[in-house]
Amino acid sequence: MALGKISPGYIKTLDIEKQKELCKQLRRMIYHTVMENGGHLASNLGSVELTVAMHSVFDSPQDKFVFDVGHQAYAHKIITGRAGCFDSLRRENGISGFPKSLESPHDAFIGGHSSISISAALGLAKAMQLSNDNHSVVAVIGDGAFTGGEAYEGLNNAGKSDCNLIIVLNENQMSISKNTGGLALYLAQIRSSKKYYSTKKSVENILDKTPVIGKSVAGAMQGAKKMIKSALFNSNFFENLGFKYLGPIDGHNLEELTEALSVAKMMRRPCLVHIYTKKGKGFKAAEENPGEYHGIAPKDAPKCESKSFTDTFGETIAELSKNDSSICGITAAMKYGTGLQHFAKEFPERYFDVGIAEAHAVTFAAGLAAGGKTPVFAVYSSFLQRSYDQLIHDCSIEKRHVVLTVDRAGLVGEDGETHQGIFDVPMLTSIPNATIYSPSDNHELTLCLERAICCDDGLCAVRYARGCELYKSDIQMYSDYRYFNNNKQRLIITYGRITAYARQLQNEADILQLIKIYPISEEIIKIISSYKEVYIFEESSKNGGIGEKISSMLAVFGYTGRIKLTAVEGFVPQATFTRQLQLFGLDLMGMKNALGISGE
Ligand SMILES: Cc1ncc(C[n+]2csc(CCOP(=O)(O)OP(=O)(O)O)c2C)c(N)n1
């Protein structure tokens, strides 16, 4: 069958064998596209049958699907009219790697950040109910995303609601690496239990109480050959919260899935369908090593000539911890992504994977600091956004020495709007007592880490980019800033990896490279004040960034010169990171243009 023709309506005309054939084709398309363009492979391969079953039971877009994190929505995209342009996945102006309602009415809600699906689905379901719309909302959430606190806030409200809300809990025992925590154990316990009840019986009971719809559906149920396992434990956690529990269901068995989802749809009340799947299903290497195949780089991605910032951080923190037994390493389910695996291996008792729980991670770190330890929370910039209040209330007011190592700070490329690291600077600079470092190369990163861990107190962040350094700075020892003064008329101010481009303009302007980017000292303002023309380049949000802070400080000093600020404005569309730098005028050519130097 031609995937170009596929649609939710067409799936409903296929018998189960043809649907199984469709699953194979979807897997092939996902595999080939991801190997070329990069993207999330293992999670998407693991949820193909679920997606086909959802489309055969529900009517998207009238019924709404909310995919948590959103990295399991490729099959859904192909089925809902995007097969023809699927080869543009994650490319500039192409199909997003995540659900995006601006892209398709079938994407009911944005995806990218974890653990939001239950709250979003409940909101959608309530809105539909208020509008007398009888359709269902289905939230799909993995056991990894289920470790995030917002999932429980959603469950707490959803279970006792009267909405047509179905939560599909997709348990594969994996977050990006092995899932951690008590909940993972609890789910495994439920799954291994054999206390199944007949769905048919429980459904008939329910249907007896809903006479109008009940009769016809009960008729349909008479013909159901297979028993569905459902409505299991009266004392089950989910049942106690008010959900009807259906499961555990083999999430690669289309018949079982279809029946379970049909039952959930009929119930017209909050249901939790617990399925178990294999992450990476259908591709042996990914099945055997799902963590490695969670995210794949595009085939044509530039290769690092030196170590990545992440690796440099990972090795440095492990090294520093040999002589400092107070250092504790924390990750929110990103052991490998943040480079903490070296530390985890050497100091398992001081290593904490807290699940996808950035807010908890920060408060936990503050607790460790209050107990005399030196917590280092390694986190991606975009996910740190989850922890704003915890940074203010739990860390900053009482000056807890918590070190944040903020990876993926700046432009990150193909993941699009949700993952760009452009808000950590505005967020952190708004917090009293916070110190922020932004090294431009690997060596500076090691110096900043030492400084933040050994010499500072209070909340400290070291932010660094995704991928590799763009040059080698000739720094020997730590200093808060570097001033390359060639007595030029104008001054370039910048920080982070794009310093590499600024340093190429030393014949055109003096360069002030900030390493400790915040707080901004009077010494720095004095240097800047001596220039009539100042050009600031910032790989971060313009709104609330360092450039704006410098400008307002200069204004207080009565500065009358010209300030030109180039930074990220608005959200960042998906593209390669070099293209993104170009789009915002943050590459060499952009700097030249800003200075009015003709580029060659
Ligand atoms: C707030 C937040 N923190 C971290 C991440 C990074 N992240 C993306 S997917 C993922 C694991 C998700 O696991 P699970 O929900 O079980 O889905 P699976 O990949 O196993 O299908 C993590 C930690 C994120 N997307 N959002």
Q: Are residues 344 and 215 in the same domain?
A: no
Q: Are residues 513 and 454 in the same domain?
A: no
101-105: Cβ within 8 A, 24+ apart: 104/61, 104/77, 104/80, 105/61
Q: Which regions of 110-200 does DSSP assign to beta strands (E)?
A: 137-142, 165-171, 197-198
Q: Are residues 80 and 204 in the same domain?
A: yes
CA–CA separation, 350 vs 306, rounded Å?
Answer: 29
Residue 72 is assigned to a structural domain of this protein: yes
Q: Are residues 98 and 206 in the same domain?
A: yes
Residues 6+ apart with CB under 8 A from 506: 484, 486
Q: Assess whether the C-beta atom of 333 lies below 6 angstroms from ligand 1.
A: yes
Q: Are residues 113 and 158 in the same domain?
A: yes
Task: Please report the pLDDT score of residue 218 as a whole number.
Answer: 44
Query: Where is the domain boundary, 231, 259, 278?
Result: 278
Residue 301 is assigned to a structural domain of this protein: no
Residue 378 is assigned to a structural domain of this protein: yes
| 436 DSSP β-pair partners | 461, 518
Task: Please report the pLDDT score of residue 331 as a whole number.
Answer: 98
Q: Which regions of 277-348 does DSSP assign to beta strands (E)?
A: 295-296, 327-331
* Overall number of domains in the chain: 3
Here the tokens at position 6 are 């596929």
Helix (H, G, I), strand (E, B) or coil at 352: strand
Here the tokens at position 300 are 């044509």
Q: Are residues 186 and 52 in the same domain?
A: yes
Which atom belonging to ligand 1 lies closest to the Cα atom of 334?
Answer: 23
Catalytic-residue membership of 279: yes
Residue 600 is assigned to a structural domain of this protein: no
Task: Please report the pLDDT score of residue 302 as a whole number.
Answer: 84
Ligand 1 centroid–CA 154 distance in Å is 17
Q: Are residues 263 and 323 in the same domain?
A: no
Q: Are residues 331 and 402 in the same domain?
A: yes
Task: Please report the pLDDT score of residue 402 as a whole number.
Answer: 98
Residue nearest to atom 16 of ligand 1 (CA): 144
From 34, 114, 119, 167, the mutation candidate for ligand 1 (largest count of ligand atoms within 8 A of CB) is 114
Task: Please report the pLDDT score of residue 200 as a whole number.
Answer: 45
Catalytic-residue membership of 562: no
User: Are 66 and 114 in contact, with CB atoms under 8 Å apart?
Assistant: no
Torsion angle of C-alpha atoms 202, 208, 210, 214, degrees rounded to 10: 90
The parent domain of residue 340 ranges over 309-411+419-424+439-463
Question: In this structure, what CATH number is given to the domain that contains residue 582?
Answer: 3.40.50.920
Residue 304 is assigned to a structural domain of this protein: no
Task: Please report the pLDDT score of residue 246 as a whole number.
Answer: 94
Q: Are residues 269 and 339 in the same domain?
A: no
Q: Are residues 56 and 165 in the same domain?
A: yes
Q: Are residues 238 and 324 in the same domain?
A: no
Q: Assess whether the C-beta atom of 69 lies below 6 angstroms from ligand 1.
A: yes
Query: pTM of the full predicted structure?
Result: 0.93
Query: Where is the domain boundary, 259, 278, 297?
Result: 278
Catalytic residue among 279, 451, 542, 549: 279
Per-block mean pLDDT, blocks of 10 residues, the chain (600 long): 89 96 97 97 97 98 98 98 97 97 97 98 98 98 96 97 97 90 87 54 53 41 39 69 94 96 96 96 93 90 90 98 98 97 98 98 98 98 98 97 98 97 98 96 98 92 97 95 97 98 98 98 97 98 98 95 98 97 98 87
Task: Please report the pLDDT score of residue 184 as a whole number.
Answer: 85
Query: Where is the domain boundary, 278, 299, 320?
Result: 278
Question: In this structure, what CATH number is given to the domain that contains residue 328?
Answer: 3.40.50.970
CA angle 325–353–572, rounded 5-degree value: 115
Q: Are residues 253 and 358 in the same domain?
A: no
Ligand 1 centroid–CA 177 distance in Å is 10
11-16: Cβ within 8 A, 24+ apart: 11/52, 11/55, 11/56, 11/79, 12/55, 12/56, 14/56, 16/254, 16/255, 16/258
Q: Is the dihedral of CA 140, 150, 287, 309 positive or negative?
A: positive
Q: Is 406 left (phi over 0), alpha (psi -120 to 50) or beta?
A: beta
Residue 431 is assigned to a structural domain of this protein: no
Task: Please report the pLDDT score of residue 219 as a whole number.
Answer: 41
Ligand 1 centroid–CA 170 distance in Å is 12
Q: Assess whether the C-beta atom of 361 lies below 6 angstroms from ligand 1.
A: no
Task: Please report the pLDDT score of residue 223 as a whole number.
Answer: 36
Residue 302 is assigned to a structural domain of this protein: no
Residue 470 is assigned to a structural domain of this protein: no
Query: Do β-strands 39-40 and 64-67 pair in parallel, antiparallel, or remain unpaired?
Result: unpaired
- How many CA atoms, within 13 angstroms, populate the side-chain half-sphere of residue 545? 22
Ligand 1 centroid–CA 145 distance in Å is 6
Catalytic residue among 49, 150, 171, 358: 358
Neighbours of 408 (CB within 10 A): 28
